[in-house]
Amino acid sequence: MQGLMMDVPLLVSSMIDYAAECHGDREVASRELDGKIHRYTYRDAQVRCKKLAQALEKLGVKDGERVGALAWNTRQYFEMFYGVPGMGGVLHTINPRLFHEQLVYIANHAEDAWLAFDAGCADLIRDLAPELTTVRGYIFFGGRDELPDDLNLSRVEFYEDLLAAEDGDYEWPEFDERKASTICYTSGTTGNPKGVVYSHRSTILTAFMQMLGDNISGFKTGLREVFMPMAPLFHGNGWQTPFTAPMMGYNLVLPGREYEPEKLYEIMESEGVTLCFGVPTIWMILLNHMKETGKRFSHLRGTVMSGSKPPRALQESLLQDFGVEPMQGWGMTEALSSTKFSPLGGSTEPDDAAKLDAYQYGGRQAFGSKFRIIDDDGNELPKDGVAQGHLLVRGPTVASGYMKQDGLTGATGVVGGWLHTGDVALLHANGYVELADRSKDVIKSGGEWISSVELENAAMGHPEIAEAAVIAVEHPKWQERPLLIAVRMPDSQITDQQILDYLREKVASWWLPDAVEFLDELPHTGTGKIYKLKLREAFADYKLTGDG
């Protein structure tokens, strides 16, 4: 017997309609590339999204065609998340920090028909355009006087002119909710980037998962939250912020391309930001700036960190020095928001130390997601908070394949209906996920596993260490041993022995790195993560001797 419920498709366009109707007076504040703040309501945004859909249809964008976007966090980019998929197209969010060859590859691989860009990415467009084989035309977010004369593009349309020519009287089309809505390519640290294709259904379900009472909305106090993503919108749908914030009725603050700590602090204070998303690195930079200048947060009460496990010292500083809840979540391009952030998860703990223990977890299993861990032979391990193994996940918001590939392959892959994430983790009986390392970064020493992440975070707890990475190097007896590669704080003269003495009190003795090397800076990927492949290549011939 079948249920007798209306079969109404879950479409991205319905989210901006809901926000306009139920939270229509809530605002989007966007820092333009000239530094000025533009603000408008969700009701205003809905009209502009519909005008964009009308304009794209007139430009000849067909059902399922890809429209790329190479831009920073501004209102026009926010509108693309609704206007493009709402009319049946597919928004391809492109990371401008990728290498030239990667940018050319993904634009051609996705077969982008149109490419939107802002003034901050004009130089990239100049270099890329001659090699883009499928792009029919470009859409510029800025004014005519902001477009460089030497771009030599075959066809350029101006975003604001396109919208000005439309009336916004538009009925969103209905179609299969399993149709593609957006595409995001992985950063491609090994081989070419791979395209993860999100559907309308998965996008709405991910927003619902974030809105659960024991997730983001557990942090909510009426409609007063002011939310700012410090994660760029080209990273995994901007961690879903273009969708979840309007649905929740949060004011949304878009910081543009100004990610310098003083600029971030300035907009957080002026807009009264209460909740932020961002990777640990950006928080370390921001807090260092605030400590140096004696600044304090007037409004901020919580942050969610993801992308890599945050150092305990960072979370401790947020909580104890600034009174900010240092939440953590786990996800990846292929599996957005698979854990709930449990923002109040540590608040019932008796003291700050216990709270910090709770905040070191990578979140708690979200409804719809299922996790398991396995050993090297594929045997399932217990969820006891002790056993650590390779992390697997499945659910309706988890990728089943890459664009133009039959399945997920390489470090990540779908086997038996489970996505192999490439992470090593411990699972707890109450649903918490505790990240240990990336599978490829674990140091296997004498048959035991050493977490490079734990060593890195311990090292960065030292006030004279700005950044640290740990890689495995060959050892004649133990097969692999850890090598610590660190960047000193400015004016620091810390020695290898001093950092080892510091670590001796933080980690097990057999985890201690066998050697320490100092560099002026560490290499990073286009997504801001430490590029360990480059470090492994640089130290491929590094020799350790003795018993270690």
**Residue 62 CA to its chain's centroid (Å):** 29
pLDDT tens digits, 478-514: 888 999 999 999 989 999 999 999 999 888 888 899 9
Neighbours of 468 (CB within 10 A): 24
Token pair for 390: 């390779």
User: CATH second-level architecture of 366-438?
Assistant: Roll (2.30)
pLDDT given at position 345: 47
* Residues 441-463 pLDDT 10s: 888 887 778 888 889 989 999 99
d(CA 536, CA 473): 8
Burial class for 124, CB neighbours closer than 10 Å (0-12, 13-18, 19+):
middle
Catalytic residue among 370, 444, 506, 529: 444
**Which pLDDT value is given to residue 342?**
56
The pTM score is 0.87
Instruction: Identify the pLDDT of residue 217.
Output: 55
Contacts 24+ apart (CB under 8 A), 261-264: 261/285, 261/286, 261/288, 261/289, 261/290, 262/289, 264/230
Closest CA to 305 of 331, 287, 285, 323: 331
Active site residue 505: no
Closest CA to 28 of 67, 68, 100, 81: 81
The overall average pLDDT reported for the chain is 89
Q: Which of 74, 93, 182, 186 is catalytic?
A: 186
- Highest mean pLDDT out of 56-65, 365-374, 385-394: 56-65
**Range in 125-134, 159-168, 343-352 with the lowest mean pLDDT:** 343-352
pLDDT > 80? residue 469: yes
How many whole angstroms separate alpha carbon 52 and alpha carbon 161? Answer: 10
Among 516, 511, 509, which Cα is nearest to 539's? 516
Give the integer Cα–Cα distance in Å for 220 and 213: 9
Separation of alpha carbons 45 and 423, rounded Å: 38
- CB atoms near residue 71 (< 10 Å): 25
- Residue 344, pLDDT > 50, answer no
Sequence length of the chain is 548
The residue among 294, 235, 237 whose CA lies nearest residue 259 is: 235
- Let me know if 418 is a catalytic residue: no
Q: Does domain 443-538 have CATH number 3.30.300.30?
A: yes
Mean pLDDT across 452-475: 91
Please report, for the chain, the start and end positions of each structural domain, with discontinuous segments joined by +. Answer: 13-212, 366-438, 443-538
Q: What is the 3-state secondary structure (H, E, C) of 208-261?
A: HHHHCCCCHHHHCCCCCCEEEECCCCCCHHHHCHHHHHHHHCCEEEECECCCCH
Whether 543 is catalytic is no
* pLDDT for 546: 55
Q: How far apart are CA 435 and CA 424, in angstroms?
A: 6
Residue 348: per-residue pLDDT: 53
Taken in order 44, 46, 50, 52, is the CA torsion positive or negative?
A: positive
Comparing 477 with 70, which gets the higher pLDDT?
70
Q: DSSP string of 395-429?
A: STTB-S--TTSSS--TTSEEETTEEEEEEEEEE-T
What are 402-456's pLDDT values in tens digits? 998 755 554 557 788 899 988 889 999 888 898 887 878 888 887 778 888 889 9
SS (H, E, C) 471-498: EEEEECCCEEEEEEEEEECCCCCCCHHH
Q: In this structure, what DSSP letter does residue 521 have?
A: -
**Of 20-34, 67-81, 99-113, 276-290, which range is least confident?**
276-290
Is it the case that residue 346 has pLDDT exceeding 80? no
186 is known as an active-site residue: yes
| Catalytic one of 32, 166, 271, 334 | 334
**Considering 41, 157, 440, 449, which one is annotated as catalytic?**
449
Q: What is the CA radius of gyration of the chain?
A: 24
Question: Which listed CATH number (3.40.50.720, 3.40.50.12780, 1.10.10.10, 1.10.3720.10) goes with 13-212?
Answer: 3.40.50.12780
The pLDDT confidence band at residue 328, using thresholds 50, 70 and 90, is: confident
Residue whose C-alpha is closest to residue 247's, from 547, 22, 485: 22
Residue 187 and residue 527 in contact, taking contact as beta carbons nearer than 8 Å = yes
Region 379-393: what's the mean pLDDT? 93
For residues 267 and 253, is the Cβ–Cβ distance under 8 A? Answer: yes
